[in-house]
Every structure is written in C-alpha cells, then in structure tokens.
Structure 1
C-alpha cells in the first residue's frame, strides 16, 4: 500500500497545467490567473487630498492670517494647477493637489469669508496628503499567476487598468458512478439499492475548486455500459470514478479501463477511509478511481482530487493543514494513516488553538457525520494512544473548499 504523501505526489507529478484563455474582467470571478498582472498605471497618479479642505503651502500658513482662494479642485477636475503666492485652493477628497501645494488644511479648521480664508492652526508638511504612487506604481506585479480571482482581486485588476484577464481554462473532469445498485435521487429504489450521492458531492467540489464537471451518469456492472461511458471521458482532462476501484468479482471498472489501454500507476492507499483508490492514465486522460463509500470518496477527493485540480490550474497543491488540540482522548492507530472526522468545540485557553472533538462513529458509510464535521484529524500510522489535550494536525474542511 502506498503512503498518502507519496500517492499525492505521484498524482501531481503526472499532471500538467491546462492551457490559458482570455476572459472579460466581469467574467473573471473564481477563475485562476494564467499569467502575472502588472499595473498599467500609477495609483494615485499624483499627490491627492485625503480630506475635504484647502490645499496649501505649509510654510505660508499662519494662524489667523487671511489668504486668497485661487479656485477649486475636485476629483477629475483640476482648476488650480499651481498656487499663486499667499493663496490656497479649495479641494475635495481624491482631487489632485496643485503642483506646489504640500499640505491640506481641514475645512473644520477654516474660517471662510467669500474668496478668502484663514485657519485656526498651523500646517504640517504632507498632512492629509496621499502621495503619488501610495497604492502602487506602474509596472508593479500586483497579481501573480495561480491567483484565485475573488472580488478583491478583480477590483485590484480593474484599478491596475486591465479590462481582460489571462486565466486558465476550467479543467473538464468527467464523473462516473458505477454499480447496478446505484440509483439517482428521484428514481425508484428496489431492495438493496443505494442513492448516488457521490456524483453530486464530486460535481459540487469540482465547481468550487475551479473545474468543469462532466456528469457521465451511472454505469451498470456491465462491460458494454462501462465501455460506452469511459469512451466519453477520453475527451476530458480527467476521469473520476466512484465505486469499482477494489478487486471484487463484480467491480469491472479496472478491467474496462485496462481493455482501453489504462496505464495503472497504483490502486491501494495506506489510509482510512479510502484504501481502495486507483490512479492511472488512459491516453491523454488521467484516471482517478475513488471508493464507493460516500465518506471514503469525499475524503479521498479532498486529499487527492483537490490536489489534481489545483495542479491542472497551476496552483499550490498543499493541503490546508494546521494545528489543534484534541478535546477527547484518541485511540492507538494501525498501519494506515487515519483521517478522523471531528468538530470545532472551542478554543484551548493555554495555546489559543482550536479544540477539536472526534466524532464517536467513524464508519465510512456515515455521510451525516462528515456533513457535520469541521475538520479531519490526521492520525499517523502506528500512532500511540493520545490523551485529551494532545496537539494534533488537522485538515480544515472549509479552508479546503469542502
């Protein structure tokens, strides 16, 4: 059996980043940059006022002394480009200062009489002035390739002057559920049938991670049916199956893929849940065979499919691991790395780390437990029993997009 870390590394190393495409700025949400974005302008383009008031030369301000008002500068309208001697300019927030002004006096400290004004206090050079380039300067590399574009990143791209964006195309990933007993929600169920929740979960995860899911439906335990489904997947970047990854007599996925030329890399992982997991390549299409149990499939997707998608998109493939404190004792572990479903139950006062409580039932068929979990506690192979208060490593499910 392959260790989790080695299996993830082998998957990632056999994938290459997908090609890029250009999209309009307003369609960039949740896309991944294919190249660095460099500022096309300086922001602000010149010294601007941070407050409403008067642009002045600080050295000319004497409390109580009247000065002439030369004009008014508003954002986008600069009536006064240079100050005459012993004069000020009315100015509003965001407006460019006259060239030789070096400070702004607040309007609250001003006494205006027609076209003249006096101030109750002296000025300090640069007060209430935002200097040129305070935010960024032309040529600054503001957003790096691999960045996931959220609202803030799109706002920055707009401020830097970009109307179209270079992004990675969404990887097309086929999802195939298998098994005579697997039915879609809404279909008639016979004795022994199960509902296909894995396809729904995987499609949602893929969309959240930035891929385009291609639902191939449910294939029966029939060679011809499987062959037809697999043929459709060969036009995708990856095929993800759920069920049929083990070596049972009726698990026909492996044999169907092998007939079509599958190059098998591995099919057993030293982990719980999720031991029967397969990875290989079918022509230009990578193949990831997940277990059929819903919890096993979702945990394996979190550890391996997420890394695969992020590799295809040119992103960091590391898991969002962090430290936490066990709120309850943890049992000894066997030769398989264990991923225990757990919930956040507070903050440890001594360390400031989250307290995590492992779910009492860890059966790989119990999806309700996983749906209520906040994290996975990683228990290394052959870990000794751990008392309450032990520091543990966790995978934060929300941070992983699960």
Structure 2
C-alpha cells in the first residue's frame, strides 16, 4: 500500500521547522531601507517636540489676561518657526506667533488669529476667553529622548522611516535580505524572448518565482536553465552554494520520470529530504529538503503548479527566513455557482470575483493554462473530500493580489 500523501498544512509546518533565519545584518541609509526589517530596537536620540510650540497661527498670551468678554492686549513682537522669541509675554501683552514656532516665556495659551481683531498699530482684541494649554504642543508630547520608537522585527515603511528620521536617525540596522536561488530545469526550455523550436517551450515559471521572491523581500540569484543531466544540475546547485543562497528553488524535474533528476542529484550531493509529494492539486510532486544550511524547495514543472506551490510554500519560507511577518492571503468568499465534490487532494482552483463580489471558478483548470492564472484574482480552496457547494455558500479562497 502506498504511503499516504502529506497534508498541505503539515507540509507547511515541516517546511519552516528546520529553516534558519538570516542572522547577518547591515546598516542602511533611510532612503534605501524601505521594506527592510529592523534587527534591533531603535530609540529616539531627541525629544519631540524639543520645545513647547504653537500648533496654530495666532497670538501667544497669558490665558488669565482674557476673560469671557474678551480683552484688548498690546502686541510686543512676533516669532516664526525656526526663530526664538526675543521677548517675554507679561500681563496685558501678546506676541504674534506662527505654527511650529517656540512658545515665548510667560505665555501659556495660543489664541487662533480667526478669533482676534487688530486695533490700531500694536493692539489686538481677543473675542473669546482663552484656556491654559490651548493650541500648544508641549515638549515631549510625541516622544522623549530614549523612548523606543521602532521594535526589532519591524518591517520598515514610509511611516516607520519618517518616525526614525524624526527621532534623529539617518541610518538604521537591518537584517540582510534572504538570498533565493532560482533554477529551471528541462531540455525543452529556452530563455524568455527566444522563440521555441520544435519540442521546446519558454521558461516562464522561473520568471514568476523570481518576481514572487522579490515581492517578499528577497535578493534573487538567477541560475538560469539546467538541462536534464546530473552534471548540469550539479553545476547549477554548486553556484547556489557558492553564492551562499539561503533557499534554492528548483522548477521541474522533481517527479518520477526517467528525466526527473533533481531529487537524485541533490541526494547525491548530500541533501536531507524532509518530504516529497503532498496531497494537493495542482502541485503533488513538491519536494522539500536541506543541503547544508540551504533550504531546498523543488517545485513542479507545470507553470501553474509551480506558481501555486510557490505561493503556498516559497512565500512563507522566504518571509520566515528574512524575518518578515507572515502574509495571510486566505479568507472566505461567496460562491457564484455550484462546486462539485472534491477528491482526496486539497484542490486550489483558479477563480475571479464577479461584479457582485462573489467568486466564480474558471471552467478550465489544467495546470498548464497560464492565461487563466493571469486573469484569476484568487484560488478557491477545496479541502480533501469536501462535499459539493451550492451557489451562495461560503468557500475558502487564497487572494492573489
């Protein structure tokens, strides 16, 4: 009796169990650090705001000088952002002040200019009462020197980089990107842009896998195409080892045919096999193992199968190795039409949303059809032995966006 196929869920767990995370770090300028992952906590070097400042254009006053009926005060000067006050606010006086300017000594409130009227050359009438603290940003209101602004493991984005800059940082320590080597195999493959001859096809699968890897923060090592020979495959894998790849992704050659040489070649090189073949379609001949410190992920050759497997396994592996947070693509949707009973393997069917937000399955699901994959915006997940689904019922989906 054949060994039972590994479930998708268990395969995903095993995939990450022995996958070491990147430990090398580097220092990046803020301009180059977007989408990188912090390798240590970042504390502020400064207090923000560094001084009490006006939040509005108006007048700095002593709140007690203005009662419910208003009051007329003498304007003794002005202070703009970037300048320091050259006078103190005392009883009966006010200073013109602009947004971001330091609050002059003696003032405890800012009255917005819309609530005032000029009186003569140096007078201003305040129409409403003032309250202590009105329109003032106090020193340290945002954060203080020494406060942790960003924690280790934070994926840097526009907001995080802006906060780091506000905290006095021009460079940040980050983990290096995971290195992903991508190898396509097969005598039938020609590079993209080369018109295939008789019996040949374009190597399109590796393009998709490389793009997916980059989308998830990896540096890609393109190993090109290896023909169906142990020598060609070994030579390409040795290049991945020399480049210190964290992950080797192979496409094709992982099944049981006479020309499927990925598994035996890697085994001869010392690969420890974690598992081979899982209960899913498309993508049953999926291989996972370890070659030294390098994680190996062998994908099927059919382009749709390789992409679906990469989405389910390569993406979480890359994100784990690179310290990126997991990306949860799975959610639920309403089926636009009926779905039949499913067999023993978990099925990922290409689908798309209709104008009412329901998900419709493509009629043709062959794993070689790339046009439907490009047109799809989700995969409909049918668990093993799932019962038929009627239109209007809820189904699991994997978003492709």
TM over 0.5: yes
Structure 1's unaligned 5+ residue stretches are: 348-353
Q: In structure 2, which of residues 203, 209, 230 is the aligned counterpart of residue 202 of structure 1?
A: 209
Q: In structure 1, which of residues 13, 26, 31 is the aligned counterpart of residue 36 of structure 2?
A: 31
Shift of 1:188: 4.0
Distance 1:296 1:99, change over 3 A: farther
Write out aligned runs for 1:3-402 (5 A).
3-18=7-22, 19-62=24-67, 63=69, 65-80=71-86, 82-112=88-118, 113-234=120-241, 235-347=244-356, 354-398=357-401
Distance 1:160 1:186, change over 3 A: same
User: Contact 1:278 / 1:288 at 8 angstroms: preserved in 2?
Assistant: yes
User: Contact 1:346 / 1:356 at 8 angstroms: preserved in 2?
Assistant: no
Distance 1:82 1:2, change over 3 A: farther
Mapped to 1, the partners of 2:173 and 2:297 lie a distance apart of: 29
Distance 1:363 1:144, change over 3 A: farther
After superposition, the C-alpha distances for 1:93-137 in whole angstroms (9 at most, x for unaligned) are 111222442322121222223222111222233332233333333
Mapped to 1, the partners of 2:397 and 2:86 lie a distance apart of: 60
Mapped to 2, the partners of 1:345 and 1:99 lie a distance apart of: 64
- TM-score scaled by length of structure 2: 0.93
Mapped to 1, the partners of 2:350 and 2:108 lie a distance apart of: 60
After superposition, the C-alpha distances for 1:200-234 in whole angstroms (9 at most, x for unaligned) are 11111111111111011100011211111111111
User: Contact 2:210 / 2:220 at 8 angstroms: preserved in 1?
Assistant: yes
Shift of 1:38: 2.4
Distance 1:265 1:51, change over 3 A: same
User: Contact 1:58 / 1:102 at 8 angstroms: preserved in 2?
Assistant: yes
Mapped to 1, the partners of 2:366 and 2:88 lie a distance apart of: 76
Mapped to 2, the partners of 1:144 and 1:392 lie a distance apart of: 37
Mapped to 1, the partners of 2:278 and 2:388 lie a distance apart of: 23
After superposition, the C-alpha distances for 1:328-358 in whole angstroms (9 at most, x for unaligned) are 22221111112222222245xxxxxx42222
User: Contact 2:62 / 2:91 at 8 angstroms: preserved in 1?
Assistant: no
User: Contact 2:287 / 2:299 at 8 angstroms: preserved in 1?
Assistant: yes
SS at 2:320's partner residue?
Answer: helix
Distance 1:336 1:97, change over 3 A: same
- TM-score scaled by length of structure 1: 0.92
Shift of 1:65: 2.7
User: Contact 1:72 / 1:78 at 8 angstroms: preserved in 2?
Assistant: no
Higher mean alpha-carbon deviation, 249-258 vs 108-117, is at 108-117
Cα RMSD of the aligned pairs, angstroms, is: 1.8
Higher mean alpha-carbon deviation, 354-363 vs 289-298, is at 354-363
SS at 1:78's partner residue?
Answer: coil
Q: How many residues align?
A: 392
Distance 1:13 1:318, change over 3 A: farther
Mapped to 1, the partners of 2:332 and 2:276 lie a distance apart of: 30
Mapped to 2, the partners of 1:76 and 1:96 lie a distance apart of: 8
Structure 2's unaligned 5+ residue stretches are: none
Mapped to 1, the partners of 2:362 and 2:163 lie a distance apart of: 42
Mapped to 2, the partners of 1:151 and 1:292 lie a distance apart of: 38
Mapped to 2, the partners of 1:381 and 1:244 lie a distance apart of: 26
